[in-house]
Structure 1
Amino acid sequence: MTKVKKAVIPAAGLGTRFLPATKAMAKEMLPIVDKPTIQFIVEEALNSGIEDILIVTGKAKRPIEDHFDANLELETNLIAKGKNELLKVVEETTDVNLHFIRQSHPKGLGHAVLQAKAFVGDEPFIVMLGDDLMKDTIPLSKQLIQDYEKTHASTIAVMEVPHEETSKYGIIHPEGQVEEGLYNVKNFVEKPSPDQAPSDLAIIGRYLLTPEIFELLENQAPGAGDEIQLTDAIDALNRTQRVFAREFKGKRYDVGDKFGFLKTSIEYGLEHREVKEALEDYLIELGQELLDKKTVDEVPETKEEQ
């Protein structure tokens, strides 16, 4: 059996939901406390046993490459000042076997994944989306790899979402479980309305795919949003070979929108050894202020005020 050792990270999106911050900066470089979001994704890949990573970029994404490149001037400065702990942090971002390719035209996630065809060759591989940070005892990508080692088949990560939010996701139509949390799938539906959704199990940004997906993507007609949809190609793949779905039971952080990004920053900050105590004290103080204000606002008017 071929070992899963390659991962693809699509990072060519324009980041329009974070304008104006992303006008001249890659959204993947927005920091959660002190670490860019894309570094969390790369670390998950490495912790899952991935050896080679391809990042699919677009225009204005050069800072991603610079982040994972050596910075000799900075490193020399840190050495001279004896800042060895910071030096170690910097060096950790360069000790990664990364490759980069550009998606010249924004034609959708499926088209971005197709750019990895030469890199992947005839091996199974992981696709990791940067809008979702996953936390669990076993990294989610590693869970998918463990499933592949038993099934030798593509496996998609899913998670239960509120029924009214199915139109935001690709949704699976499950057909029973092979084992606890691993589903057979009848078909995959891209962003169905709640009244059309076959379940509440949504695709959440981690895919283990066999290389046959590339031929399907090459011939895939544009779908939702007039883009090449990866979900459509996966559904087609499921008609010729088994595609399973692994239900994720850990914690998912959605950093793809402003509120999700803020929540993630706060929760990670509460675990960060340098700021967690000060942040906790601040949140308690702020929470009390907001509660007091809300209480005052809700006091009914007196007769004189009426």
Structure 2
Amino acid sequence: MRKVRKAVIPAAGLGTRFLPATKALAKEMLPIVDKPTIQFIVEEARRSGIEDIVIVDGKSKRSIEDHFDSNPELEANLAAKHKDEMLRQVQETTGMNLYFIRQPYPRGLGDAVLTAKAFIGDEPFVVMLGDDMTDSKVPLTKQLIDRYNETGASTLAVMRVPHKDTAKYGVINPSEETAPGLYNVTNFVEKPQPDEAPSDLAIIGRYLFTPEIFEALENTPIGLGNELQLTDAIDNLNKTQRVFAHEYTGKRFDVGNKFGWLKTNIEYGLNHPETKDQLRAYIKELNTRLTKDEEKAKSVKSK
């Protein structure tokens, strides 16, 4: 069984949910406190033992490539001013085995993965979506790799979500739990309405695939939203070989929408050494102020 050493990070989306900020800035470069979201994904890949990473980007995504490139002028300036910690932070984004492939048109997640076929070849690999940040002792990507080492089969991460939210996700129809937190899957459904959803186990942004997923993608018709849906291809793959679902129970942050991104910034800000004390004090102050405003509004209304 071949070692899992490659990752695909799709980053070619238009980022319309963050307009106008993403008119000229890659959504993946929006910061969580002081670090771009895509850097968290790359760091998770490295902590999981991934050696080579390909980022599938598109037009207006040059800032991603620049972020992971060296900046000799900035580095020389920081070195001359003995700003050693800043220099370390700048340099830690370089020296990775990062590659970039352009997706000419935003034709869906399935098409973005298929674009990386030549890079992956005949090896197993992981797909990591930038909209999902995870926090657990063992990185979620490493959890999937460990499952693959046990089963030799494609495995994707799922997490229980409120039933009313199933239309936001791909959802699995589990047939049996073969090991604690590991499910055989009857079929996969892309964004089902709550009354049609087969379970509350939703696919989140981490996948481990055998290379046969590419044949499944090539034989999958265009689906929801006039895009090549990865969930549809997974369902097709599941008809010829087993595809497992691994239930993730750690923390997950959805940074693909404004409110989720704001919540993630607050959570990370409360743990960041430069912001945690001030932010905690500000939240307490804000809560007191809001409580007083609510009491004042109730008092006025009762008169």
Q: Secondary structure at the match of 1:199?
A: coil
Deviation by residue 1:130-182 (Cα, 9 ceiling, x = unmatched): 00000011000000000000000000100001101101100000011111101
**Aligned residue number for residue 194 of structure 1:** 194
In the alignment, the residues of structure 2 paired with residue 173 and residue 191 of structure 1 have an alpha-carbon distance, to the nearest angstrom, of 13
**Aligned residue number for residue 129 of structure 2:** 129
Q: Mapping of 1:267-286 within 5 angstroms?
A: 267-286=267-286
Q: Secondary structure at the match of 1:222?
A: coil
Q: Mapping of 1:117-266 within 5 angstroms?
A: 117-266=117-266
**Aligned residue number for residue 89 of structure 1:** 89
In the alignment, the residues of structure 2 paired with residue 32 and residue 191 of structure 1 have an alpha-carbon distance, to the nearest angstrom, of 27
**Aligned residue number for residue 43 of structure 1:** 43
**Aligned residue number for residue 64 of structure 2:** 64
Amino acid at match of 2:127: V
Q: Secondary structure at the match of 1:192?
A: coil
In the alignment, the residues of structure 2 paired with residue 301 and residue 67 of structure 1 have an alpha-carbon distance, to the nearest angstrom, of 53
**Aligned residue number for residue 298 of structure 1:** 298
**Aligned residue number for residue 3 of structure 2:** 3
Q: Mapping of 1:5-44 within 5 angstroms?
A: 5-44=5-44
In the alignment, the residues of structure 1 paired with residue 218 and residue 100 of structure 2 have an alpha-carbon distance, to the nearest angstrom, of 20
Amino acid at match of 1:152: G
State the 1:219 CA deviation. 2.1
State the 1:300 CA deviation. 5.8
- 2:220 and 2:236 in contact (8 A); partners too: no
In the alignment, the residues of structure 2 paired with residue 301 and residue 35 of structure 1 have an alpha-carbon distance, to the nearest angstrom, of 45
User: Where do 5+ consecutive residues of structure 1 fail to align?
Assistant: none
Matched-pair identity in %: 67
In the alignment, the residues of structure 1 paired with residue 282 and residue 238 of structure 2 have an alpha-carbon distance, to the nearest angstrom, of 50
Deviation by residue 1:80-105 (Cα, 9 ceiling, x = unmatched): 00011111101100021100000001
**Aligned residue number for residue 104 of structure 2:** 104
State the 1:256 CA deviation. 0.4
Amino acid at match of 1:208: L
**Aligned residue number for residue 113 of structure 2:** 113
Deviation by residue 1:233-254 (Cα, 9 ceiling, x = unmatched): 0000001000000000000000
Runs (4 or more) in structure 1 with deviation over 6 Å come to none
Q: Secondary structure at the match of 1:175?
A: strand
TM-score by length of 2: 0.99
State the 1:299 CA deviation. 2.2
Question: CA 1:301–1:169 in 2, change beyond 3 Å: closer, same or farther?
Answer: closer
In the alignment, the residues of structure 2 paired with residue 48 and residue 249 of structure 1 have an alpha-carbon distance, to the nearest angstrom, of 17
